[in-house]
Amino acid sequence: MLNSRFTISGKKSFGFVFSLDAAMAVILLLVLMATVANKPDLGGTAFPRAQLNQLIDDSITTMENTGYLLEVLDTNTLDDAALEINSRLSSDLPGTVDINVQITQYTLNLSTCRISRDFEGCFLEGGTVISSSGSAIPSNRAILHGQRIFAKRQQNADCNLSYGAELEAVEEERLDSIMFSDYYGPLYFQEGGLEVTFDVNVTPDTEISCDENVSVQLSVTVPGGFRVPVDVIEVMDISGSMSECAVAEGTAIVEDQNTLGGGNYNFFTGHTNWTALTQFEITNLDAFDVFLEWETACDFFGCTKMYIEAPDGTLYGYYGGTPGDGCYISPTLFNIQDNVYFAVPDTLSQNGTWVVWGWNNDPSIDVNLTVKIIEEPISKLEAMQEVGKQFIDHADWTANDDTGLVSFNDASKLEQPLTSNRTAVKNKINVLKAGGATAIGEGIYEATNELIFSPRADEETLDFQVLLSDGQTNTGRSSSGAAQDAADNNIIIFTVGLGTKINETELQNIADLTGGQYYYAKDQNALEEAYDLIAQAIQSIAGDANVVIPLIPDINIIESGGAEIVDQNMVFDVNNLEGGQTWTATYILNLPCSNANTCDSDAISFPGDGAYFEYEDDAGYHRIDFNVQVTIPFLTRDLTVDIFTGEITGPDDIYLDVNVANIADLNTPSTTLNFYEDFVGGTLLASRTVNALCGGESVGCVNSEQIFNAVNITREGVIVAVVNEDGSMSECPGNNEDVVNCYGGSVPQYYVVDYYVWRN
C-alpha cells in the first residue's frame, strides 16, 4: 500500500494526503512495488514461523497506523530512524531473534519520470540513500523479510533569513582558528631611567571626519645625553707620499677662474703655443698655492700642462723644473688626474708679477684655476696629524670612551693601545714619520685585533675604526679581506681619502663592507670637516634612540615625518639628544571612511596606545611609554543592508523586504542596491536606487533609512543583496551585504523500510 501521510519536521501530526496526477501515481506505485516484489525473499521453511510472522506484522502495522514510522522518518536522520525502528521492533519480538532494519530513500525526479515511466527514470540511483541498523544478515539462517513503502513531501518552501548569519559564524570560527602574531618590539627593554617630557599636538583638534587628513606633532625632551660607550682607533697612512704637500688653508687671490688652454704638439718642436692662464702680484714673501682643476674630462694626451714663471723669469713646474726643496706637488707628463697642484714656499717668493702658463691640444677642455696666499705650506702628514688630534679632543667623547692609534706603511704598528688618556694618543700622533709603501689591509687587521682580541677589548662597547690614506694598497694583505674580517666582528670603518692620488673605489668598498661612510678631502679644510662628520656619526650610532608609534592597520600615511615603517609601526630615528634638547617630528595621516579598523570608533587617540620612546646607554636598552595622548571625536559614514522578510509565492517567484540604513555620523549620497544569485557579481536579479541618507550628526536628521517592500526576485536559491557595490562612496565595509536562502516548492520523497528477522 502507498502511504502518503506527511508530518512537519519537529511536530506530531496525523498528516495529510497530497495529490499527484492519478495516472502518474499508478505508474509510480506499480514500478516501485514491482521493484520490491523482485527482491529475493530470504525466508525459508526451516522452522515454523506463522506466529513470528504475525508478531512482526502486528508490530509494523501498529507503528504505521499510529503515524510512528512517518514521524520517525520526518524528525530524524536515516541512521537514527533505522536505529529507532529497530529498537521499537525488538521490544515487540521475543529475545530469541535478531533483527536488521534497512531504510532506502528515493527522491522523485518528476521530469524524467514523466518521460521514462520506469523505476530507473523516476528514482535516479544518484539520489538513493541507504541506512541500516542491527546485526549483519547471516547467510546460514532462515530469514523472515518484510517491507513497508512510504511517500511524503519535504516541508513547505521557505526563505531562511538567518542564512547569512550562519555563514558568518562559520567564517568567524575559521578565522579564530588562525594564529596571529603581534609585534611588541624587543623583549630586552629595561624601565627607562631618564626623566623624559612628551608633548603631542593634533590638527584638527575638535573633531575628525573619516577621509580627513590629520597632522600629528610629537616632541620629546630629555634632561641629558645618552649612548653606549665606544672604542675608536684611528688608522693612519704614513707611507712616503704622505710627506708631500697638502692643499693648505689660505686666502684666494685668483678663485675659480675659467681658462681655456690651446696649443699643438710636434715631435720635433715639442709643445708650442703655451697660453698665459692668469697672472698675479706678490708684494711680500708669503707662500702661495696654484691649483688647476678640470671641469671637462681629459684623455691620455689631452690634460692641461702647467708651469709658473717667476718675476725674474725662472720657470717652475712641468716646463722648467721644481721650486727647489720647498713643499711641492709635481704634475707628470701624462697627468690624467682631476687636478694639478703647486705649492710654492715663501723661500722662493719674489715681489712682482707671477704668470701661470698652460698648454692643451684640446681647446674644448675647460679648467678652473685658483691661486691662494697661504701662511705656511703643510704636508699631508702634518694635515693628518693636526686633524687627528682635533678628533681625539672632540667634545662629544665621554669618560667611558677609549681611543687608540694604528699606523701603516710597509707594515702596521699599534702605536697606542686603547686608552681613556687622550693626551697619550695625541703624543703618539705627533711623532709619526712618513716613509715606505701602503699596506691598508694590514692597518685594518692591526686595529681589529686591538678592538676584539686584546685585554682592553670590551664587549659592551661599540667598535669603530677611522682610516685615512692618500693612496692605495700596494703591499700586504688585501683591504677587502681585512674589511670583511672587521665587519664579521661588528666593527664599523669610516674611510677618508686625502689628496689626488687616492683609490676611491678601494676606500668606498671598505666603508660599504663595514656599514661605514667614505669621505673625500682634497685639502685641509675638507679633512677637518670629514673628521667632524665622522665624530658626529659615531655619536649618532652609539646614541641610538627611537620613537615608536603603532599604526592603525590600513590607514594612509600622507607624510611620514622621516619615520621608517617597521612591522606596522612608525619608527622615528631620534639619535643622541643632549641635555635640554627637544626632538620634534610631524606626520600626517588619513583615516579612510572605508577602513574597518576605525569604523566602530567614536574617538581616535594620538599617538595611540603602545607608543614609546626607546634609547640605549651603558646600562642597556630602555623604554619609556608615551604618557601624553590627545583624543579627538571621530565621525564615520556607514551603510547597512538588511533583508528582514522573504516570501515564496511560487516556483522562482520570491518577494523580499529590505532595509538600507545609514547608521553612522556623516551623510551618504545616493547609491545602488543590487540583488545577485549565489554571490556578489553573479547573475544580477534586481536593482534599486538608494536615496541620499542623513547621518546622526546631521541636524534634524529624519531620512536615515530607506525600506524597499516586495522586491520581486525571479530565482530560487541563495540571494545576495549588496549596497554601494562599486565602493564609489567611501564608507564602512562589513555591513553592506545580506544573504537569504529561499528554497523552492515541495518535492515528494519515497522511503522503503525493509526488516529482516532470524533466530539467534
192-226 per-residue burial string, b: 16 or more CB within 10 A, e: under 16: bebebebebebeeeeebbbbeebbbebbbbbeebb
pLDDT at 449 over 90: yes
**Could you tell me where in the chain the CATH 2.60.40.1510 domains are found?**
190-226+544-635
- Which helix (H) or strand (E) segment holds residue 371: the answer is strand 366-374
Helices of type H across 244-379: none
Task: Read off the pLDDT of residues 177-187 as tens digits, 9 standing for 90 and up.
Answer: 433 333 333 33
Query: Span 217-243, mean pLDDT?
Result: 89
Query: Span 321-331, mean pLDDT?
Result: 43
Task: Tell me the range of 166-180, 334-348, 375-389 where mean pLDDT is highest.
Answer: 375-389
- Characterise 320 by phi-psi region: left (phi > 0), alpha (psi -120 to 50), beta (else): alpha
Top CATH class of 249-376 equals: mainly beta
Question: How high is the pLDDT of residue 432?
Answer: 97
Question: How high is the pLDDT of residue 378?
Answer: 77
Task: Read off the pLDDT of residues 531-563 as tens digits, 9 standing for 90 and up.
Answer: 999 998 898 788 778 899 999 999 999 999 999
Question: How high is the pLDDT of residue 114?
Answer: 62
Task: Tell me the range of 565-579, 617-631, 665-679 where mean pLDDT is highest.
Answer: 665-679
**Could you tell me where in the chain the CATH 2.60.120.380 domains are found?**
249-376
Query: Contact, 471 vs 237, CB < 8 A?
Result: yes
Question: How high is the pLDDT of residue 10?
Answer: 32
At residue 110 the predicted structure's pLDDT band, cuts being 50, 70 and 90, is low
Q: Which of 299-303, 539-543, 584-588 has the lowest mean pLDDT?
A: 299-303
Residue 641: half-sphere exposure toward Cβ, Cα within 13 Å: 26
Question: How high is the pLDDT of residue 439?
Answer: 97
Task: Tell me the range of 156-165, 312-321, 390-399, 502-511 where mean pLDDT is highest.
Answer: 502-511
Sheet of strand 129-134: strand arrangement:
129-134, 97-107, 748-759, 144-153
Query: Span 717-736, mean pLDDT?
Result: 91
CATH number given to 230-240+385-542 = 3.40.50.410
% residues pLDDT > 70 (the chain): 73
Task: Read off the pLDDT of residues 31-82 as tens digits, 9 standing for 90 and up.
Answer: 444 444 443 343 444 445 678 888 888 888 888 888 888 888 878 888 898 9
Task: Read off the pLDDT of residues 679-704 as tens digits, 9 standing for 90 and up.
Answer: 899 999 999 999 999 998 888 898 89
CA distance 568 to 182: 9
Higher pLDDT, 110 or 12: 110
The cell 687616492 sits on which residue?
Answer: 502
**Could you tell me where in the chain the CATH 2.60.40.10 domains are found?**
639-743
Query: Contact, 677 vs 718, CB < 8 A?
Result: yes
Task: Read off the pLDDT of residues 274-284 as tens digits, 9 standing for 90 and up.
Answer: 778 888 888 77
In sequence order, what are the residues at sequence separation of 6 or more whose Cβ sits closer than 8 angstroms to the Cβ of residue 140? none
pLDDT at 714 over 60: yes
Question: How high is the pLDDT of residue 738?
Answer: 93
pLDDT at 305 over 60: yes
Question: How high is the pLDDT of residue 530?
Answer: 96
Q: State whether the Cα torsion 298-246-527-408 is positive or negative.
A: positive
pLDDT at 428 over 80: yes
Task: Read off the pLDDT of residues 193-207 as tens digits, 9 standing for 90 and up.
Answer: 677 889 999 999 999
**Could you tell me where in the chain the CATH 3.40.50.410 domains are found?**
230-240+385-542
- Characterise 480 by phi-psi region: left (phi > 0), alpha (psi -120 to 50), beta (else): alpha
Query: Contact, 479 vs 443, CB < 8 A?
Result: no
**Cα 584 vs. chain centroid, distance in angstroms?**
25
Q: 425 forms bridges with which residues in the sheet?
A: none
CA distance 713 to 619: 72
At residue 120 the predicted structure's pLDDT band, cuts being 50, 70 and 90, is low
Helices of type H across 372-437: 380-392, 422-430
CATH T-level topology, domain 639-743 = Immunoglobulin-like (2.60.40)
Question: How high is the pLDDT of residue 196?
Answer: 85
Q: 583 forms bridges with which residues in the sheet?
A: 220
Domain 190-226+544-635 has CATH 2.60.40.1510: yes
Task: Tell me the range of 90-94, 145-149, 168-172, 428-432 where mean pLDDT is highest.
Answer: 428-432
- Taking 3-state DSSP, the helix, strand and coil percentages for the chain, each rounded to the nearest 5, stand at 20, 40, 40
Question: How high is the pLDDT of residue 314?
Answer: 80
CA distance 409 to 412: 7
- CA dihedral defined by 374, 376, 381, 387, rounded to 10 degrees? -70
pLDDT at 674 over 90: yes
Question: How high is the pLDDT of residue 327?
Answer: 44
CA distance 685 to 267: 95
**Across all residues in the chain, what is the average pLDDT?**
80
Q: Which of 24-28, 103-107, 140-144, 294-298 has the lowest mean pLDDT?
A: 24-28
pLDDT at 17 over 70: no
Query: Span 449-466, mean pLDDT?
Result: 94
